[in-house]
Amino acid sequence: MWITRESGLGLLALTVLAREGRASAEHIAEEYGLSAPFLRQILGQARRAGLVESRPGRSGGYMLTRPPREISVAQALEAFGGKPSPVACLAGVDCPLADGCPTRPLWEWLEERIAKWLSELSLEDLAKDRL
């Protein structure tokens, strides 16, 4: 899968927000041994994508803008630039065999199935471990 570090950590943070309702970047970073400044940058991407909002102050933090069941994993990964592809050529990496590869139809079929599944899987499903 061609999932970036940012998209993986972003999905982790959104899953925590789906579970807890509200959390600070510092809380999530401490819980998972991450850099809080890096996590704030990632959550900024989620804010620009309209998935989270933040509130300052002692009782502030980040929260989802919609119920977790209304945000798909595919939407979350898209917000962070992740594209789940089973092989490099489908993720935009140059491949000398791309035009004549006999296995390409298999990888395209698999990529479509993965995309469909991720669009049906919600943050609520992840938060409640319903895979």
- Give the up-direction half-sphere exposure of residue 80: CA atoms within 13 A in the CB hemisphere: 26
Confidence of residue 26 (pLDDT cuts 50, 70, 90): very high
Separation between Cα atoms, residue 19 and residue 12, nearest integer Å: 11
Q: Where are the domains of the chain?
A: 5-127
The C-alpha angle with vertex 43 and arms to 5 and 91, in degrees rounded to 5, equals: 35
Nearest to 12 by CA among 21, 29, 26: 29
Does the pLDDT value for residue 84 go beyond 80?
A: no
Identity of residue 94: D
Model-level pTM? Answer: 0.87
What's the topology of domain 5-127?
Answer: Arc Repressor Mutant, subunit A (1.10.10)
Q: What is the mean pLDDT of residues 77-105?
A: 81
94: left (phi over 0), alpha (psi -120 to 50) or beta: beta
